[in-house]
Structure formats: structure tokens, C-alpha cells
Amino acid sequence: MNAEQVIRQHCAREWPEDYSMRNYCIGRQRDALAILKQGRPHDIPEDVFERIRSRCAAEWPEDYSMRQYCEKQQFDSYRELEAESE
């Protein structure tokens, strides 16, 4: 199943009878997927990135918006911890 199918099925399950919210959900999912496709931020080491990406993907396999949010929270926390240790 491709990403567009995953998005459409996810949003249809979340909003089976509310077409406006389903449409909004699809837009949010597409936006999040575009961010995820940008890949590793330059300041996050490859091994840390892979661990974060794997964890968030396992936790949110069909919700790209939550996966992107999960990754952002983890990246931001990693940066804070690194800044504190300097």
C-alpha cells in the first residue's frame, strides 16, 4: 500500500461521516509526510536519527502527522540534552 492509500484509509477511519474533517485530515497527513521525506536534520547524528525514526514509525505506523510530531519532539529533546551537556 502506498502512502496516499495509507493516508486516505487512516482519515476515513478517523472521520467516517465527517467529510470536512476527513479532507482536513488528509491535508495534515500529506503535509506531515512531506516533512518526513525531508530526512535527517543536519544537527542530528545518523544513529540517533535512525533510532528516533524507527521508534516513532513503530508507535504511529499509519498516522504521519503523529509520526512527524513524535520525531520533532524527540529531536528537540535531544538538542536540549546536548546543549545542557556542553
- DSSP characters for 19-40? HHHHHHHHHHHHHHHHHHTT--
Residue 86 has pLDDT above 80, yes or no: no
pLDDT (0 to 100) of residue 57: 97
Output the nine-digit C-alpha cell for 40: 535527517
pTM of the model: 0.90
How distant, in Å, are the alpha carbons of 33, 62, 78, 82 from that of 12?
Answer: 17, 12, 34, 40
Burial class of residue 52, CB neighbours in 10 A (0-12, 13-18, 19+): buried
pLDDT (0 to 100) of residue 1: 78
pLDDT (0 to 100) of residue 33: 97
Q: Which tens digits make up the pLDDT trace of 20-63?
A: 999 999 999 999 999 999 999 999 999 999 999 999 999 999 99
Band the pLDDT of 76: cuts 50, 70, 90: very high
